[in-house]
A and B are shown apart, each in its own frame.
Chain A
């Protein structure tokens, strides 16, 4: 069974400080892990990804860390900005029946307070 879990449905952090979002998974066959950001009434937009053979990937203010032994990944946003307020989905990629697929977590609604 391939599952991805985001245990915090809501998080809030201060503008200018670090925001940390967490995600756990159960299957070791995932090849990439991804974070998507979603604003209301829009589709999810790809934010950042990490290969399952890496432990860190950085892109500007966004860094994703992967702890394979704990089956845990986290997204760090530094510094947080009000425009970062959105729903964030963690997703894991795997290959099955001839196609790449994604399994998504439930999402975390992030609020950045001024």
Chain B
């Protein structure tokens, strides 16, 4: 099992550009999540999905969009990049039940200049 994989690892965007951060998991988890982590801060939830075709907003969704067409993939779209979106982005997944633990990908470091 590769677990949760994210691409790219690093990216520099100019203000106003768009990009998609990719996230794939091979554990057949139904829940998937996107977080951002700013320096010195904890992780904040951007969007989440409870299964294919079902997504919802988290704590900080503005400027982002998601889709979930398959169980495995949960891409995060930035439409008009802004400097405030400079951050490290983590994707996570989990099965229903359990003890709350989520499994994280290695992250994408995004800089918007």
Query: Chain A contact residues (Cβ within 8 angstroms of B): what range?
Result: 20 to 34
CB distance from A104 to the nearest CB of B (A): 3
Map CB proximity to B onto A81-103 as digits: 1 under 8 Å, 0 otherwise. Answer: 00000000101010001111111
Of listed B42, B45, B96, B105, residue having the most chain A CB within 10 A: B42
Q: A41-B106, A99-B48 are in contact. Are A106 and B41 (CB under 8 A)?
A: yes
Residues of A within 8 A of B (CB): 4, 6, 9, 31-32, 34, 36, 41-46, 49, 51, 89, 91, 93, 97-107
A31 touches B100 (CB 8 A): yes
A34-B100, A101-B48, A102-B100 given; name 4 further pairs at CB < 8 Å: A46-B103, A100-B100, A102-B43, A104-B43
In the bound complex, residues from chain B placing their C-beta under 8 Å from that of A105 are 42
Looking at chain A's contact residues, is the secondary structure mostly helix, strand, loop, or mixed? strand
Residues of B within 8 A of A103 (CB): 42
B102 touches A4 (CB 8 A): no
| B104:A43 contact, CB within 8 angstroms | yes
Q: Is B21 engaged at the interface, CB distance under 8 Å to the other chain?
A: no
Smallest Cβ distance from B1 to chain A, in angstroms?
A: 14
- The reply to whether B42 and A4 form a contact with Cβ atoms under 8 Å apart is yes
Inter-subunit contact A43/B42 (CB<8 Å): no
Q: B97's closest neighbor in chain A, by CB?
A: A100
